Amino acid sequence: MSPALGIRRALGRIRGAWKIIPPSTLFDYQFVHVEFEKKFAAEQRIGKLAAVFAALALFISGLGIFGMVSFVAEQRTTAAGVLAVVLLPVSWQSVRAAMANPVKSLRAD
């Protein structure tokens, strides 16, 4: 058989030879690439589904990270505001205590 012969001509020759050798059995043929495609179609489908779910998981985790960053930024902004308000009365009391006469403050206590 020559590769340049063509599939139809080669199958015709093989079918003719098959009828001579075992005439009682049927001539049934299958191409290997078709059988492999059938066999691995499920694996290819699973691979595509895994890729889709991996992309979805990355998207959801990205949303989660964005939410956590936003939450922490908001908490820090709030904490900085509270800290500024608390430090203002403390610093005001520190200035008053530094300027006051220590003797008078001890007598008042």
Q: What is the pTM of this model?
A: 0.48
Residue that the structure tokens 């001539």 belong to: 27
Total residues found in the chain within this entry: 109
Alpha-carbon distance 23 to 92, whole Å? 112
H or E element at residue 2: none
How far is Cα 35 from Cα 66, in angstroms, rounded to an integer? 47
pLDDT of 2 reads 63
Give every CB contact of residue 22 below 8 A, 6+ residues apart in sequence. none
The predicted-structure confidence for 30-43, as pLDDT tens digits, reads as follows 888 888 888 898 88
Q: What is the residue whose two structure tokens read 């908490």?
A: 75
pLDDT computed for residue 85 by the predictor: 72
